[in-house]
């Protein structure tokens, strides 16, 4: 509460220096080119998810025009500088089930699964738990995340409480992966290789390895003494211990000179007005984690479903909570305008993320060319909690696997599980089904 606000986040200052300077130096450009020639094609393909909550205003979201000749909508207009790197997808229905609309929306969004029954009592629905399967990014990470220090990196912006309204990434059924809301923690734990003394770091890791070895042995030993249900809980913990132990021995090799130590960021706050600045720093860290090949799978979760962020920083400030606004009727023009501007702000953040990626040179292209970003939402329309024709935007070239500069429309009953299959295929995972089997009929036609 009442954390320092002004100046706690000197927005943009954090990484701008590192990035801006790096790409401006001519010698560095040539160095990058030489390196790329020497061992091309050395650049991996990355997958990034960006979430924003509470649905959209379809009339102000949907572009007009044809597949390759289209005009961006009021909400998507900030993405105009990147239009050639986009695929806007209209007409895909986001499936979900169990719990209330927000719960099963965010839980099914990336898993294509229903929520199991569980302890979280939604508004007027039977209590629901976690989804019945992994999220698509985690399936992709199983394939492309095996050699990097982190299998995946989950970043949040004031996500807060741990419940199924606030979790979208799942390692497996019933195994949520919480996002880290605090940039200072990300910096300390993810970027240590870039700023710690190498000798001290090696000693620390050796020590941690011995600590975790002993901890793991204790979990193994105590499991043997317990009943089946308790054993399963502790086994989940043991798996987590083994995974962080694995990180200690994964070598870190900075892939390009664009991989630079980010400046140490301020700790996160829960102050509403710090929301944009925290998000900005988290985007800087996300992009640098990809540029440094610390991970190839990442996500950025802005708030949570039922978010009550107040967009007080917009040119015409919006004092009401986002979720309250999202329930106003379609004929409330003032609310529609506000919701349009809120979603436009999130589009601006996606554009900023893409701009940052474009500033990282990789071979003859950029990090953006080697990345696929999915922007998704737990709902299509907030006031009725509908998920028909959910708003999906893809950004980045996926290493040439995604044909961009397109606006795709789908008619009829197209489950979003098909989109998730296509995302896997584009990322080199050949699975032909994902999520709840009877919601999936194969890849989304016409995408890749």
Partner 1 sequence: MVAWSITRASLTALLVLAGAALSCKSSNGAAQTSSPLCTAAAPGPAPLRRLTRFEIARSLADIMGTDPSLVDDLPPDEESDGYDNSSAAYSVSPLHAEKLLDLGEAAGAALIADGARLRAFAGCDPTTDGADCVNAFIRALGGQLWRRPLADGEVSDLAALVPPAGISAAIAVMVQSPGFVYRAEAPATPGTKLPASALATRLSYLVTSTAPDAALLAAVSDGSLMTGTGLSSQTDRLLATPRAAEAFEHFVNEWWELDSLPSVEKDTDLFRTWTDDLPAAFAEETRRFLDDAWQNGPTLARLFTGSVTYADVNLADFYGYPLPAQPGFQPIAVDPAHAAGLFSQGSFLATHAKADQTSPVLRGKFVRSRLFCDPPGPPPANIVITPPVVDPRKSTKERFQEHTADAFCAGCHQLMDPIGFAFEHYDATGRWRDIDAGMPVDATGMLTETDVDGAIDGVQQLTAKLLKSAEVESCVATQWFRWAFGRTEQTPDDVCTIGQLAHALHTAGGDMRSLVRATVQSPTFLLAPTGDAP
199-228 binders of partner 1 (CB under 8 A): 206-208, 210-212, 214-215, 217-219, 222, 225-228
Window 127-156: residues binding partner 1 (CB under 8 A): 127, 129-130, 154
Q: Site for partner 1 (CB under 8 A): which residue of 33, 125, 355, 448?
A: 125
* CB-nearer residue toward partner 1: 13 or 217: 217
Examine residue 116 and tell whether it contacts partner 1 (CB under 8 A).
yes
x/- track of binding to partner 1 for residues 29-48 (CB under 8 A): --------------------
Q: Site for partner 1 (CB under 8 A): which residue of 237, 413, 432, 446?
A: 237
* CB-nearer residue toward partner 1: 77 or 173: 173
* CB-nearer residue toward partner 1: 142 or 320: 320
- Asked whether the beta carbons of 322 and 68 are under 8 A apart, the reply is no
Q: Site for partner 1 (CB under 8 A): which residue of 2, 68, 199, 316?
A: 2
Instruction: Quickly tell me which residue has 């506000």 as its tokens.
Output: 338
- Asked whether the beta carbons of 343 and 322 are under 8 A apart, the reply is no
Q: Site for partner 1 (CB under 8 A): which residue of 180, 293, 369, 378?
A: 180
Paired residues of 128 in beta bridges: 117
The set of residues, in sequence order, having a beta carbon less than 8 Å from that of 412 and lying 6+ positions away, is none
Q: Alpha helix (H) ranges present in 250-361? A: 275-291, 322-326, 333-358
- Asked whether the beta carbons of 130 and 164 are under 8 A apart, the reply is yes
* CB-nearer residue toward partner 1: 65 or 317: 317
Measure CA 382 to chain center: 21
Examine residue 327 and tell whether it contacts partner 1 (CB under 8 A).
yes
- Asked whether the beta carbons of 323 and 190 are under 8 A apart, the reply is no
Structure tokens at 269: 């706050």
* CB-nearer residue toward partner 1: 310 or 406: 310
Examine residue 118 and tell whether it contacts partner 1 (CB under 8 A).
yes
E strand or H helix at 372: strand 371-376
Total residues belonging to the chain: 448
* CB-nearer residue toward partner 1: 107 or 399: 107
How deeply is 8 buried, as exposed, middle or buried, from its count of CB atoms within 10 A (0-12, 13-18, 19+)?
middle
Query: Minimum Å distance from CB 219 to partner 1?
Result: 5
Window 329-348: residues binding partner 1 (CB under 8 A): 329-330, 332
Q: In whole angstroms, give the CA distance from residue 163 to residue 143.
A: 28
Q: In whole angstroms, give the CA distance from residue 429 to residue 175.
A: 21
Q: How many residues bind partner 1 (CB under 8 A)?
A: 75
* Residue 437: count of CB within 10 angstroms of its CB: 10
Structure tokens at 388: 């028909």
Q: Site for partner 1 (CB under 8 A): which residue of 43, 47, 61, 120?
A: 120
Examine residue 189 and tell whether it contacts partner 1 (CB under 8 A).
yes
Examine residue 174 and tell whether it contacts partner 1 (CB under 8 A).
yes
The set of residues, in sequence order, having a beta carbon less than 8 Å from that of 321 and lying 6+ positions away, is 307, 308, 309, 310
* CB-nearer residue toward partner 1: 118 or 365: 118
* CB-nearer residue toward partner 1: 33 or 125: 125
* CB-nearer residue toward partner 1: 77 or 201: 201
Paired residues of 117 in beta bridges: 128
Window 284-323: residues binding partner 1 (CB under 8 A): 310, 319-321
Query: Minimum Å distance from CB 63 to partner 1?
Result: 26
Short-list 106, 156, 137, CA closest to 302: 156
* Residue 403: count of CB within 10 angstroms of its CB: 15
Stretch in the footprint of partner 1 (CB under 8 A) among 102-110, 134-142, 240-248, 294-302: 240-248
Stretch in the footprint of partner 1 (CB under 8 A) among 13-21, 118-126, 294-302, 398-406: 118-126
Q: Site for partner 1 (CB under 8 A): which residue of 77, 196, 241, 414?
A: 241
Window 376-415: residues binding partner 1 (CB under 8 A): 383-386
Radius of gyration of the chain measured on its C-alpha atoms = 22
Q: Site for partner 1 (CB under 8 A): which residue of 117, 249, 250, 264?
A: 117
- Asked whether the beta carbons of 379 and 387 are under 8 A apart, the reply is yes
* CB-nearer residue toward partner 1: 322 or 436: 322
Stretch in the footprint of partner 1 (CB under 8 A) among 14-22, 231-239, 339-347, 436-444: 231-239
Structure tokens at 294: 């610390």
């Amino acid at each position: 509460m009442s954390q320092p606000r002004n100046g706690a986040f000197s927005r943009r200052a954090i990484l701008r220096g590192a990035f801006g300077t790096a790409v401006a130096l001519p010698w560095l450009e040539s160095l990058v080119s030489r390196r790329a020639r020497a061992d091309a094609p050395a650049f991996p393909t990355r997958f990034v998810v960006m979430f924003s909550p509470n649905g959209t205003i379809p009339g102000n979201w949907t572009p007009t025009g044809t597949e390759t000749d289209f005009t961006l909508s009021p909400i998507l207009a900030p993405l105009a500088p990147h239009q050639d790197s986009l695929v806007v997808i209209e007409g895909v229905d986001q499936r979900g089930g169990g719990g209330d609309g927000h719960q099963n929306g965010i839980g099914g969004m990336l898993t294509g699964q229903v929520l199991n029954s569980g302890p979280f009592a939604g508004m007027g629905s039977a209590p629901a738990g976690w989804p019945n399967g992994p999220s698509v990014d985690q399936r992709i990470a199983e394939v492309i995340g095996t050699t990097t220090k982190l299998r995946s990196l989950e970043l949040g912006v004031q996500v807060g409480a741990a419940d199924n309204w606030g979790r979208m990434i799942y390692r497996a059924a019933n195994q949520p992966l919480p996002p880290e809301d605090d940039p200072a923690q990300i910096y300390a734990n993810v970027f240590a290789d870039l700023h710690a003394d190498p000798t001290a770091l090696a000693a620390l890791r050796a020590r941690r390895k011995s600590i975790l070895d002993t901890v793991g042995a204790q979990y193994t030993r105590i499991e043997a003494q317990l009943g089946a249900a308790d054993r399963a809980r502790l086994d989940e913990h043991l798996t987590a211990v083994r995974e962080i132990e694995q990180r200690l021995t994964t070598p870190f090799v900075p892939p390009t000179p664009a991989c630079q130590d980010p400046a140490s960021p301020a700790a996160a706050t829960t102050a509403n007005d710090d929301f944009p600045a925290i998000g900005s720093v988290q985007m800087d860290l996300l992009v640098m984690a990809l540029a440094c090949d610390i991970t190839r799978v990442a996500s950025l979760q802005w708030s949570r479903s039922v978010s009550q962020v107040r967009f007080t920083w917009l040119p015409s400030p919006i004092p009401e909570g986002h979720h309250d606004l999202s329930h106003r009727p379609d004929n409330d023009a003032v609310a529609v305008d506000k919701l349009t501007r809120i979603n436009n702000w999130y589009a601006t953040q996606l554009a900023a993320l893409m701009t940052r990626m474009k500033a990282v040179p990789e071979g003859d292209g950029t990090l953006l060319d080697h990345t696929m970003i999915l922007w998704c939402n737990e709902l299509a329309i907030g006031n009725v909690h509908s998920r028909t024709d959910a708003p999906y935007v893809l950004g980045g070239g996926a290493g040439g696997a995604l044909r961009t500069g397109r606006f795709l429309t789908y008619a009829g009953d197209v489950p979003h599980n098909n989109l998730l299959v296509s995302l896997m295929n584009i990322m080199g995972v050949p699975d032909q089904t994902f999520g709840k089997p009877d919601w999936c009929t194969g890849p989304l036609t016409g995408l890749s």
